[in-house]
Amino acid sequence: MNCDQFRQSRKLSRFQTVVLFCLVLSFHSSLRAEQQPRITFDFAFPGSEPDHYAISIFADGHATYDSHVNTSQGSEEDNFHFDFTISPSDRTRIFDLARRAHYFEGEVDSKKRGMASTGVKTLKYTDTEKNTQATYNYSRIPAVQELTDFLQRLSTTLEFGRRLEYDHHYQKLALDEELKRMEEMSKQNGLEGLSAVSPILEKIAGDASVVNPGRVRAQRLLAAGRKESP
C-alpha cells in the first residue's frame, strides 16, 4: 500500500467511525424516547381545520405536533410537523392531569345519548410499565376534560405558529391580521403554550421589513408567553 492509499484508508476509517457514532447516538436517543413516560393526544374531526392532529409530550419536555388539513387543492401545506419543547410548568400540569385521570384506564367516554360529535379523541399514556389509552367524544371526568381543553388550545397555538411561518415567508402583509387574531384569542384564554411558538414570534418582532404594528403584537405575545410559563 502506498502513502496515498494509506491516507485514503485512514480518511475512510474516520468517516466510518463518525457514521457509526451517529447511528449509536440515534439508537440511544430513540431508546430513551421509548423508555420515558409519554402522553399522546390524537384528535380527528372531518370538516374542521385541521381535521386531524396528534400531540406527543415526553417527560423530559420534548414534544411533537403533526396535523393535516384536507383541502381540495392538495397543497403541500396540508401536512405539518413541528418539534418543540414544552415549558416545565405545562409539562408538570399535563402529567399531573394524566395521573389524576388514572392514566386513562377504564371507561372515559360519558356514553351520553344524543351528544353531538365534537371529534374523536384518544388519550394515550406509555412508560416502561404502562400502555393505556381511551377513545372518547366527551368525558365527564374533570381531569380528562381539563387535559382535553388544554391540548386543544395548545393545538390552536401551534396552528397559529404554522400560519405565521408561512405568512412571514410568503406574504408578510398578512402577518398583522393573523397576529391580531392570535392576540385576541390569547386575551380570551383561548391559547396555551405560547412559548412553543416563540421562535417565529422572535423572528417577526426582529424583522424590520414587517409593519410596525405586527412587530409590536409579536413582542406582546412573547411577553405573554414568558408570563404564562415561568
Residues 158-212: tens digit of each pLDDT: 999 999 999 999 999 999 999 999 999 999 999 999 999 999 999 999 999 999 9
Q: What share of the chain is helix, strand, coil (3-state, %, to 5)?
A: 55, 20, 25
Closest among 80, 46, 84 to 62, alpha carbons compared? 84
- Record the pTM: 0.82
Q: What are phi and psi of 43, to 5 degrees?
A: -130, 130
For all residues of the chain together, what is the average pLDDT? 87
> In the structure, what pLDDT confidence band is assigned to residue 229 with cuts at 50, 70 and 90?
low
How many alpha carbons fall within 13 Å on the CB side of residue 125?
A: 20
Closest among 40, 47, 193 to 119, alpha carbons compared? 47
pLDDT surpasses 90 at 156: yes
Beta strands in the chain (DSSP E): 38-44, 52-58, 62-68, 79-85, 120-126, 131-136
Beta strands in 59-161 (DSSP E): 62-68, 79-85, 120-126, 131-136
